[in-house]
Amino acid sequence: MKELKKIFTLFLAVLLSFTAIVPMSASAQTRDFDSYFLFDVWDHWGADQLDDLVNADIFGGYKTSQGDYEFRPNRTITRAEFAAIIVRSLQLTRKSASTSYPFTDVPANHALRNEIAIASDHGIIAGLGGGKFGPNQNVTREQIASMIVRAFSDTISFTGGTAKNFTDVPAGHWAAADIKKASSIGLVSGVSQTTFGMGRAATRGEAGVLLHRALNRETKNLTSADTLVSLANSYQTSLFSLDNATKAQLTNHINTYYTGFQKAFATEIYEYGYLADMNITGELTFTVKSNHTRFAQVKGTGATMTFEYYDPDKRRDVVETVDYEPTFYMKKIGSSWKIYYVEDFSFDFEEDYLY
């Protein structure tokens, strides 16, 4: 995973760089490019899913004293934090203009007060009783399973599968039905073959993987494949019209097509100003690899790219010819789709250049 992202980043630095680039202001991006490289996640059992959530701006990281960023997948996560992540993932808002607040133990200055209220409005959380929510308590494995089932009840079908019978889940437990629903479609699998891990504090890694699985199980209100392919075609046309682009044209391209990692990266590369000359042979044919309510992937095939660029670090020209088969990772924001990650292709860089 680490090497793949290195190769991708290095190559896309070339792909998104054109002659006579006008440097862009760093203020054009809303998140530091380096904050998407959370090295401690890449050895985690859920690395691919967690990295995808980071790229899509659903999870962020912690900045260290050395200036690096960490995901800290084995760190616990609070009830307020997980509720807020769900709310932001589903782009939910309060159901009414009411200023009433459902919980007495969430102070007015709590950073996630609004997200907690939204989660309550949509029935994702019910509290601990007595008007309490326990925002700073560690969220447990059964609580995240229940929150996920409630949050995705309108977009995921929880019927038709075979639920697991965990020996540590009492039949009358308040979360038993939700755990059965989640296990029946593979959202949760337990800490062993027979036990769920009731009462155990969930980690950021566990919570993230569960959320990622849910986002990739949504099957309601899907965008048509034609619309997704049209976006990919439009993006590709715009990308290869940026030669000698003005600052305004570059800014428009970024804001029209990108979000998350891709937006931060494109801004970083345009700012840096590589020089590149590219030629495409063949015509891309796009197909939809996956299509869900809020996330989709579109892949292009059938083209090769030959490019020559000057590497200012090595002080020499570099020429490469590769199969060009991009996969666009897309996220729906409001009514529009944006590209948050582009996986272009892989090929062997000279070892001294890559490292």
Q: What domains are defined for the chain? A: 33-216 (no CATH), 225-343 (3.10.450)
Look up residue 291 and give its DSSP letter.
Answer: E
Look up residue 202 and give its DSSP letter.
Answer: P
According to the model, what pLDDT value does residue 21 have?
34
What is the rounded CA–CA span in Å between residue 210 and residue 232?
28
pLDDT in tens, 193-231: 999 999 999 999 999 999 999 999 999 999 999 999 999
**Confidence at 30, pLDDT banded by 50, 70, 90:** low
What is the rounded CA–CA span in Å between residue 43 and residue 127?
35
User: What single string gives the DSSP state of each residue in 98-113?
Assistant: ----S-TTS-TT-TTH
Mean pLDDT, to the nearest integer, of 80-95? 96
Q: By C-alpha distance, which of 291, 293, 161, 163 is closest to 221?
A: 293
> What is the 3-state secondary structure of 18-37?
CCCCCCCCHHHCCCCHHHHC
Contacts of 80 (CB under 8 A, 6+ apart): 106, 110, 112, 115, 116, 133, 135, 136
Residue type, 344: D
According to the model, what pLDDT value does residue 276 have?
56
Predicted TM-score of the model (pTM):
0.86
74 pLDDT exceeds 90? yes
27 by Cβ neighbours in 10 Å (0-12 / 13-18 / 19+) ranks as exposed
Block residue for tokens 């980043």: 9
Distances (CA, A) of 261 to 13, 37, 329: 13, 10, 11
**Confidence at 320, pLDDT banded by 50, 70, 90:** confident
What is the rounded CA–CA span in Å between residue 283 and residue 300?
9
108 pLDDT exceeds 60? yes
